[in-house]
Structure 1
Amino acid sequence: MKLQRLRVEQFRQFRQGLELDNLQPGINLIHGPNESGKSTLVRAIRAAFFERYRSKSAEDLAPWGDSSAAPTVELVFEHNGQRWQLDKRFLKRHRCDLLVDSTAFSGEEAEEKLAALLGYQFPKKGASKEEHWGIPGLLWVEQGTGQNIEKAVLHAGGHLKSALNNLVGEVASSGGDDVIQAVEQQRQELLTATGKPRGDYLALVNSRETLQQNVSDLQARVDQYKVQVDRLGTLAAEHEQANRERPWEAARSSMQRAEAKYREVEALQEQQNRGMDSLKQLQQNLSLLQQSQAHWRNQNEQLEQRHQSYQGAKKQLEQEELVSPELVKAVESARSHYQLATGAVQQAHLRDKRERLQKDRARIEAELTRLKQSQEKARGIQTSLDDARKQKQQNQIDASALLQLKQTQRELDDANIRIQTVATRVTWNLAEGKGLTLDGQNIAGQGEKLLLEPGVIEIPGLGSLGIQPGGDDLASLRRQLERLQQSLSQQLAALAVESVEAAELKRGRLQDAEAQIQRFDELLKSLAPGGLEQLNSVGADLESELLARTAELEALPAAALNDGDAKSLSLVESELKQAEERLAEAESRQRNQETLLLKARHTCDTAHREWQRMQDELNGPERQQKMEALTRDIAAVEKQQAELESSLKAREAKISEARPELLKQDIERYRATAEHQENAQQKRALELSEIRARLEAWGAEGLEEQCNEQMAELEHANRRYLELDRRAKALDLLLNLLKEKRQALTRRLQAPLQKHLDHYLTVLFPEASLEVDENLMPGKFSRGSELGQMAELSYGAREQMGLISRLAYADLLQEAGRPTLIILDDTLVHSDADRLDGMKRILFDAATRHQILLFTCHPENWRDLGVEPRDLEALKLQGVAG
């Protein structure tokens, strides 16, 4: 199928019509910017084939806002050597005409013939949808849908299988389908699609499992019954033996004996602790007595040390007393120098104060001179300022009134000009000695006069001539002139001037006065910012300050006025600071010396008193008596200590021999043994009663009879289960064999399509493969170690795989003798440069077998496609020009 011409008119944005002719058998590249009509042309082709010409759902085909439009599509294409021409109109005056060579078809007959040719169908009612588009829906790719191929293949599946059957012959019979269907139906009675039991088979499986569980539970209970009978005999014998022997009583007797021994050991330990406390007290008392004895013995040594300390302190005191007189002299000398430096500083301050007062007086006198000059200038400027203000007051004039006066004067001048233009002009040129009378006035010689009102010329000896100025305009102008003259006079009187020129002159004098006021005011502010009064006040303050400085200068002592060879203030202050530092240093040494002297005197006195006190104490009679008593006490305490240590050692041996820690463990062991044996006997009694009750209950249930009945039912269920299991497995095996046979036949159907897919795919991915399933749907994609479904690829890769699959379907349809036309609307926009280059090779190869309409808004991406692009905007301009 080769589309040769397409024309649309009153179709969406193409109100005036657009024709796309001379379409080539291979690739046709149509480009234009967004909203230029590319998708509209694709919609027109779809509408021509898919939409019923009588459809009421085609309102979207009409231009916006034009309810009277009749969208029209004309197509001319060639197929199998025949020329097909389709003319289709929607909405208003709808019709459908198809001409195949010389045979004509119209209406629904023409639409059904096209549907049979291309492999699609019409809806029973309403708009055409994706599920009706068949083969064209697969090969005509709308904008943004290139990656979605599954639904298109599903809707075109019947037509594709039909084309495959034509290629490879009918490889499957309906009888085979019936057998597979019958086997599937019988298998479905026993198994689910995943091979799980269902129906009677599932019920039997569940019943068999229940019976097996019941038999297992009953057998376990029978075995447990037998075990409980055996346990009852053993437990009864153990309980009887324990009642006879009563081993817990023997354990308690052993515990009591161990407790008695442990109490005896505890008494010994208590005595030992008291003995240890007594020993500690004796040891402490002995230590104190020995310390006292050592103290008395060391007192003689301390007496000699005290005497030596006293001699050293006395020598240090004598040395300190020799140093003090020299320090007193140094302090007096430093104080004398300090007083002299203080007097010099005072004299220097007086000199500096005199010089400062003299400078202040000179400064104040200079400021007074400048201030008096400023006062004179300020008074002159103030006089000029007062004169300018008077001039301003005398020449006050309202600016708006002046503007109104000037406007009235201009209007009056304009009225005079107009009235001179329309008034009656009387001119005369009389001979010498001749005269006339005009409105009672004599006229002679040459002259002229404008008459605004009727006038009379009297000619002596002849009579009179009446002159009547004509026109209503003259009277109106005269009234306007009078009104303006009156208004002008009133305005001049209000402004107290004789003329407009006088008013302008008065306004000029006012502006000059205002400028002078501003200038004088600024000058006065620069000289006296606070005014003349403040300037006078400042002058009075300066005069008062001058008098004060003069009086202060005269009051200085006469000595301050004698300069002589006086030193500078900074020098005498430096000398004063040095004298002060030397005085402070001398006083500090004196204070330190006094402190040392006091310390030395105090140390000497203290050392003398301590030596004298200790000497008196050692020479007393009581000291010898105390030393003898102390020696006797030490001997007595040492004897008690030896006796107590011997007693403690003997008692410790007895305690160690008794092993109290083992006695304590024996008590705990015997107590635990008695408790465990009593508890064990109680548990045996309780277990005996429970076993007897349980055995009585199980004996009443008849467990062995129930177990035999359940085993019989289980055996019957097993026989029935084996029958259904064998049947289910046989049906499952038979169905798998039939499906494998059908899959082998399906692979024969898939082989031609797989061949075309591999032809295109290897151009883009040399080592890749794309498999199709039994429904001819592209699915598993593999490349090297990569394996996955086509739907898992990236957006751009899915778009490329979708186009490759569509081209393979087109090759398959062409081999089967079916018409093909490929339409691509802005496809491959998500491909990178390398992939796009590979897709161009694929499209160029497919164009040798199919006609391709490629619409794009990026013509720069297709420059190397090897075809001449067609500019849609240029075609639209040609349509307008035509």
Structure 2
Amino acid sequence: MKIRSITLSDIRQFTRPVTVGGFAAGLNVLAAPNEAGKSTLFDAIHALFFIPHRSSRIGHLRPEAGGNPEIRAELDLPDGPCTIVKRWGRGAMAEVIRQGHVIARADAAEAFVTGLTAPAEEGGPAGLLWVRQGVIALDDGSRKEVEGALLARRDLMSSVTGEFETVTGGRRMDRALARAEADLERLVTLRGPKAGGPYDRAKKAVESLTAMRDDLAQKQAALRDALDRRRAARAEIAQWSDPAEAAHRAQRLVAAQAAHEEATRHAERLAGLQATADHAALRASQAEAELRRLTEAEAALRRASAGARSAGEEARAAEGAHHTALAALGDSRAAVEAARAGQEQAEGVLAAAHRAVAQEAAQKRRAELSQRLATAQELTQRLLGARAAAQTGPEAAAVAALERAETTLAVLERQGAAAAPQIVLRYLPGIAARASIDGAALEGDSPLPVLAPLTLDLPGLGALSVTPGQTVDARGLAEARAERDRARAETGCADLLAARSALATRTSAQEAVALIEAQLRGLVPEGIEALKAELATLPEPADITGPVDPAAAEDHARQARATLEGARQTEARAAGLESEARTRALRATIAAETAARALQQAEATLAAFGPVDEARTTLAAALAAATAARDTARASHAAMAETAPDPSATAAALARARSVVEAADREVARLGEDLVRLETLIDVHAGNGVEEELADCEARLARAGADLAAHEHEVAVLRCLIAALTEAQATARDRYFAPVMAELRPMLRLLWPGAELRFDGESLLPTQLIRDGRAEEIGTLSGGTREQIALLLRLAFARLLAKSGRHAPVILDDALVYSDDDRIERMFDALHQQAGDIQIIVLSCRNRAFRDLGGQKLTFTEAGAV
């Protein structure tokens, strides 16, 4: 089924018939402002299919002024086009028309319409595909609507897949899964064996017996180790206590002590000879050093004399060069002063030229601001007049109210004229007399509707009174006229034409106000007062004095600056040369003074030796005597050292002999203590029957282990069974939802590449969105994401309905209200993708957002008077 056009008459605000036509087989878009009638169109389509023509549940569609709602729809059905007409209220009727012939009326027409689509609460597809304003998710709406939508989904999915019980694998599978889960819960929890359960008791018994077995085995091993260690300790004590071995250790200790004492005495004599040799070597070294100092003092005196002469000559030359550099620096400083005076004079001339240019620019700016101020003041006066005109005349709302009142009165008058009795007078030829009403002659052969009681004056006969009875709504007419008069009074105009003219005048004045304000904003963006303040800051016009040639003055000033810069560079070079000369003179003076001090010190050092020749002879004799004494002492020390024993070797031998004796005593004492402890341990373990207890514990542990293995096997079997049943359920669910996922997946991945939906087997609705490898609950998603998923799912259901031979249009009233700019573009792609096989009708108040949706554009157009 596809809608081709629909006409509304006396439906809410549509007191005059309007038509929405030109529906395409694919995507259709009706985008209009709020209160334009989109939701009215949605409710009218719903009423056409689901409210019988004799029903009184039509008040929500009736206009405020009253009337009989009527809807006419042209449809394309599999067996050909047809027209359905329904009217409620007075003259209620229902008809189905095909090829110009009525094929069904009244109840037969209602049965024909019911056969097209069942109501939503009874599982009809409209519950899936027709989304009224404010509804987002598939489970929104009243309880009946939610239950009807579930029934529709089940009917659709069952008809597509041919099965329903496979969603859960059958009730026997449910019972088997519940039993397995209950048995598993009796044994284990998520954390492990259930506390107090048979599995937990068996596991704890094995753990307790294992700990006992390990403890007894450890005690048995300790007993055997103690017996072995006791035998070894007894044998070792016997070895250490042998008398011959003890005597041998004592003899070795006495011999080592005697050898160490002899080595110590020999080392003391050798140290005395070494001290004598060292003292003689020291005296020889001192005599050699004194002789070397005398020779060095003579050489230093010669070097100091030559250095003093050279440094004096350099100091005098450097001082002359410094005086020359000082004179050159003075000359360059005088040149700088002369250049600075010339530059100051040139800068003064340039500043005067700039002041003249600035004064000329200020005079031009003052003239410009004065002109703008005059224009702004003129516009301000015009704005005051335009604003006054913009406040005169009726408001747009009052004119609209008058138009509605005139329309309502005209409709009532036409309806009254159509339903009221009429009077037609036909005069005989040659009769000049004429009947009249309120003094106005009544022409013949012209029908006169009787809308209210009236009296006809019949000349020569009398008067004829006519009462229309109940056929005319006189009260309604009176109220409509009163409302019309009140609306006229509100506008202050005599009729609708005058009100429209006055409104147009006021609108023109408002537009003029906006235009003048825009001109003022462009002319004086910061206001007239700011313009006046800027004008006040400008200097008063004055005569321009002096030459106004900034270029020549700038050139002269640039030359003066260059001259000054050259003089400063010359001064800087002269100052550098003077500084270098001064530094060289200072360094030369310091070097001369240093050389003089070095000469004085060399002379003083050499004078301390006395006569040089006598001092050299005395020091040479002392050096020879000290050298001979040193050589004799060293020879005696070497002869004794060849026969000296090594004290460190004798000390090591003595320490070794002592350690052997002490170690034997300690080892015998330790072994005795160990033997006492081992005897006590052996007595304790042997008396407790450790080996018998260990054999009994191992037998009990084997029985407990078998019991635990049985419980573990049962848990593994139950878990395997639950996994198999769960996998079977998942496989059945995937097979059941495969058709809808096949339709949904391409649209879903327009929004989220690689995304999937996970469905619930009871509600047949998605419970999780899986994207980027992460499952998100539908209830935790944003309103926009849930709205987009619900819309895509409705489109998938529509395609499944079409494939099952039940074509039905998808109608969306203000959908996608929560979608951002990027998502809405991709949702538009999805709508276009599905519009190739199904008819989609989108109603929206977001004209700008839906401008890029494309599809067939729909509008309300007047259908003419019925």
Whether TM-score is above 0.5 comes out as no
Structure number with larger C-alpha Rg: 1
TM-score by length of 2: 0.44
Instruction: Give the TM-score of the pair, scaled to structure 1.
Output: 0.43
